[in-house]
A and B are shown apart, each in its own frame.
Chain A
Amino acid sequence: MTALSASHSGASILSRRNGFAGALSDSFWRHPKLLLLLMLTPPLLWLGIIYVGSLIALLMQSFFAIDDFSGVISYEPTLATYAQLLNGANLDIILRTVLMAALVTIASALLAFPIAYYAARYAKGRWKAFFYLGVMLPLWSSYLVKVYAWKLILAKEGIVTWLFAKLNLTFVLDAILSLPVIGGNSLSVSYLGTFLVFVYIWLPYMILPTQAALERVPGNLIEASADLGATPAQTFRTMLLPLALPGIVAGSIFTFSLTLGDYIIPQIIGSSRLFIGQAVYAQQGTAGNVPLAAAFSVVPIVIMGLYLTAAKRLGAFDAL
């Protein structure tokens, strides 16, 4: 026995392979690090150099400022651009976007929970597949087509107005539209419209992780809770919600982040007041103030950084 293992430790039992491919294969086996390095180099070059490189180059620009008189960027490190970011109008844009993102996230969570709960606990077999595809298809179908569909729906001559008229409820719609901040001429030019479209577009991103978290709750646990005398409301509050929370938080990462950076929805459906994405777009394009655009794009990065740190503490990444 000892002699056998001793003879093994000296040389391999198999002879070396012939040819270039064989030798290459052997050397990969002997040096797993080499293979790993070869596998990682192309993606790291692409993502690490091209992508992260351009990100850093962009963020650096936020520490430069544009000269007020000549309109030329002066390449001296300064915090003037950040001071500009925090003045009244720009701060308004940031607050407006964050508030919208928060409201959209809450509304999506409320809408997503019953769908996710039903799909996770009651849908079986064919119905389960039906629910899964029912969420996946809207999630993956064209973003612009979905926005376009809502432009059709919310237009003044569109289906919503028609529906309210058919139900003799036009006065309700008019009352909603005459509300001070969220109203407007028609739904398609109001904050309410923007909000509706945001919720619609990002809702599937909330349903899927919530459902994944709820799938892991055994049905017997809910019954056990009922057997022990808990009312449905108590079961929900003390058991179901805490167990589903990581999934909801994971979903909220998507809804929050996507709303923060979107510039197309508020441009097509909504009032003329800007969101962060639109401000970035306008600053780098027509205004030509790249430093301010860069500073604006730092805002979502910082907010998402804080958000992700908090989410990690709540265990959201295990639910993805």
Chain B
Amino acid sequence: MRSDRGQRSPILLKLFAAGGLLFLHLPILLIFVYAFTTEEKSFQWPPPGLTTRWFAVAWNRPDVWSAMALSVQVACIATAIALVLGTLCAAAVSQTKFFGREVISLLVILPIALPGIITGIALRSAFSLFDIPFSVWTIVLGHATFCVVVVYNNAVARFRRTSGSLIEASMDLGADGFQTFRHVILPNIGTALLAGGMLAFALSFDEVIVTTFTGGQQATLPIWMLEELIRPRQRPVTNVVAMVVVLVTFLPILAAYYLTRDGDQIAGSGK
């Protein structure tokens, strides 16, 4: 009988932990209430009345839709690029030992370790140096740069748990490199890549700091929100959009969690 089972926690610790979680979640829940308020001009609490009419108003706003479409488009392309680059990096770093491995890890982490404003302004000055006009692609370029790291982290963790002897066994049984990749490596790292891709999507969908520097006239959804925050036009519409954004980003996070949850039971990890 181990002694570290069935312990009761001190009541004070429990209260602190519960309080901490409430502190993290209540502000987000508050957004949901404000999406239904009838008050237009201020952030009055409690809401004088509840209505669903702002959903219809937001639905009929073309600027919201175009911002949403651009965000989805950018996030998809950036995720695709990040998936390729991140997987390549992770495979190289985890399968072989070579001089400068540490430098590669540092290079991948740098775009999120440095404040976003530095990445943004550096890219912007590079664009102006080479006379590159702002477009969807300049936004994608910025996003892909910092999305690589989430794919890389997920893939490296999975590669570490995937036994190298599986690959050797596949080769011994006569499969060539491509067959091994398709039938052995890909099924093993597939869910990790999917999870990494979803997190990269969520990261790109939400990014605002780098985008303010790399986007020209086009507004992604976060840029649209930032403008509403600084110069509010129709506050209830912002409330509704904020609520929708919360719901949209929750889904990939939950999916990514369920995909990587059973990570301990990967084939070959016990050896």
Contact = CB atoms under 8 A, between A and B. Distances in A.
Interface of A: 14, 17, 21-22, 24-26, 28-29, 32, 35-36, 39-40, 42-44, 46-48, 50-55, 57-58, 61, 111-112, 114-115, 117-119, 121-122, 129, 131-138, 140-153, 155, 157-159, 161-162, 200, 203-204, 207, 218-220, 223, 253, 257-258, 260-264, 267-268, 277, 280-281, 284, 290, 293-294, 297, 300-301, 304, 308
A283 to B, nearest CB: 9
B195 to A, nearest CB: 12
Given A52-B107, A141-B246, A157-B44, A146 B27 contact: yes
Contact of B20 (A111, A132, A300): A111
B159 interface: no
Nearest to A122: B9
Given A36-B92, A135-B24, A203-B24, 14 more contacts: A32-B96, A46-B81, A53-B126, A111-B20, A114-B16, A115-B20, A115-B21, A129-B261, A136-B257, A140-B202, A145-B31, A147-B229, A277-B117, A280-B117
Most A C-beta atoms less than 10 A away, residue of B4, B117, B208: B117
Contact of A57 (B31, B44, B125): B125
Interface of B: 2-4, 7, 9, 13-14, 16-17, 20-21, 23-25, 27-28, 30-31, 34, 42-46, 81, 84-86, 88-89, 91-92, 96, 98, 104, 107-108, 110-111, 113-119, 121-126, 129, 141, 144-145, 148, 171, 174, 176-178, 199, 202, 206, 208-209, 222, 225-226, 229-230, 238, 242, 245-246, 249-250, 253-254, 257, 261
Nearest to B126: A54
Name, among A47, A137, A207, the residue most crowded by chain B CB atoms within 10 Å (CB to CB): A47
A112 B171 CA distance: 48
B249 A263 contact: no
Contacts of B30: 149, 152-153, 159
A259 B85 CA distance: 29
Nearest to B125: A58
B123 A54 contact: yes
A263 B117 contact: yes
A50 B138 CA distance: 12
Contacts of B9: 118, 121-122
Given A50-B145, A142-B246, A158 B21 contact: no
